Structure 1
């Protein structure tokens, strides 16, 4: 019997939690340590909505993960930003990285969608 996706996700999360407790991992986006008390999450390199459910994930600081999704659509992520190097080379993310690297590893702040993305979303919803 094949395990459900939910069970696989739970098992992965449990293993990652044990590994994080032994030593802090490093956020591949900002290169800062991710201590156990820091907010963090897994980022699907190819968005799940674009076929990335069973593809690679990376553990990022929550603020780094939120910054990615505040700036880019699922389509953009799937088409041109499906690896860490592509993300790091994007001008918007590289500016964010330069800023966040000056913060302590446990730093977290709410992240809003960029004004450009908000405006695009508004125009799509008002034009049926």
Structure 2
């Protein structure tokens, strides 16, 4: 996500989610403590008709990892559940890496080399 989009998301409040006590990220299964960066992930992307079809609260870094590796079409077609995302080999390395980090850890995420952006 570009800085411009991060600023827009922060202004709109999408990134400023306060998780209820005991909430765990359905992707990495680590707890989401109050004050940690968290964001809502549409199970079916909004661009593919998922505006009102449900969301899950994820660590922001986990949310970025999903969108860095998969296109909107792939997410809509094959990955509408957190369980299918966890089982995907393209996320396995990330999930193994982030499992050793503290629950409030955040770092920038780059677009994966195996995902071809639309703008290229």
Identify the TM-score tier after normalising by the shorter chain: 0.7 to 0.9
1:86 aligned counterpart, secondary structure: helix
CA distance in 1, matches of 2:93, 2:46: 26
Considering fraction of residues, name the structure with more helix: 1
**Could you list the per-position Cα deviations for residues 30-86 of structure 1 after superposition, in whole angstroms to 9, with x for gaps in the alignment?**
110101111000000000000100011000000000000000000000000110111
CA distance in 2, matches of 1:63, 1:93: 12
1:72 corresponds in structure 2 to 70
Gaps spanning 5+ residues in structure 1: where?
1-8
Q: Is the 8 A contact 1:45 1:56 kept in 2?
A: yes
SS at match of 1:115: coil
- What do you get for the CA RMSD once the two structures are aligned? 2.4
In our comparison, the structure showing a higher alpha carbon Rg is: 1
3-state SS in 1 of match to 2:84: helix
CA distance in 2, matches of 1:36, 1:84: 22
Number of aligned residue pairs: give it: 109
TM-score by length of 2: 0.81
1:47 pairs with one of 41, 45, 49: 45
Tell me the TM-score normalized by structure 1: 0.76
Matches within 5 A, 1:69-108: 69-108=67-106
Which 5+ residue runs of structure 2 have no aligned equivalent? Answer: 1-11
Q: Is the 8 A contact 1:24 1:36 kept in 2?
A: no
Deviation at 1:115, TM superposition (A): 1.6
Could you list the runs of 4 or more consecutive aligned residues of structure 1 that deviate by over 4 angstroms after TM superposition? none
